[in-house]
Amino acid sequence: MAKDSKAAKGTKATKDAKDAKAKRTSWFDEKSKVPQIEQYARQLDSFVQAMADGKIEASELRDQEARLVALMKEVEPQLDDALHEKVTRLLCELVAYDLMQMVHTMQQARPKTAFRG
């Protein structure tokens, strides 16, 4: 009976781990492999509320920075040195990607012809 109890606990632990993984928000689209972080960010209540009037006020930017710093302070101590380095690189690559995407979008929106007055 003790073996059955241990086996049942092992099966439950495996099932719980699979359920947790199934609920995990993937960082990229499984089919296209395109990062999905921006799409998740667009769904954040704080972002939706800040964008509601179509502009970002200095106070909204400060509030977002405060949320970011608080989360960074919460997560950073939980990382060992190797994982900290990888997450730091991930965050830098993500910001670079977002900046490049923004610049590209702005370049595409520019008029293709020069004004001749």
- What are the tens digits of pLDDT across the range 39-97? 999 999 999 999 999 999 999 999 999 999 999 999 999 999 999 999 999 999 999 99
Greatest mean pLDDT among 2-6, 99-103, 111-115 lies in 99-103
28: β partners: 35
SS3 for 24? coil
Q: Which residue has the higher pLDDT, 10 or 116?
A: 116
Q: What is the token pair recorded at 99?
A: 């900046």
Say if residues 79 and 87 touch (Cβ distance below 8 Å).
Answer: yes
Nearest residue to 101 (alpha-carbon basis) of 41, 38, 33: 38
Confidence at residue 104, expressed as pLDDT on a 0 to 100 scale:
94
Confidence at residue 81, expressed as pLDDT on a 0 to 100 scale:
97
The domain spans of the chain are 25-108
Confidence at residue 23, expressed as pLDDT on a 0 to 100 scale:
81
Question: What is the phi-psi region of residue 54: left when phi exceeds 0, alpha when psi lies from -120 to 50, beta otherwise?
Answer: left
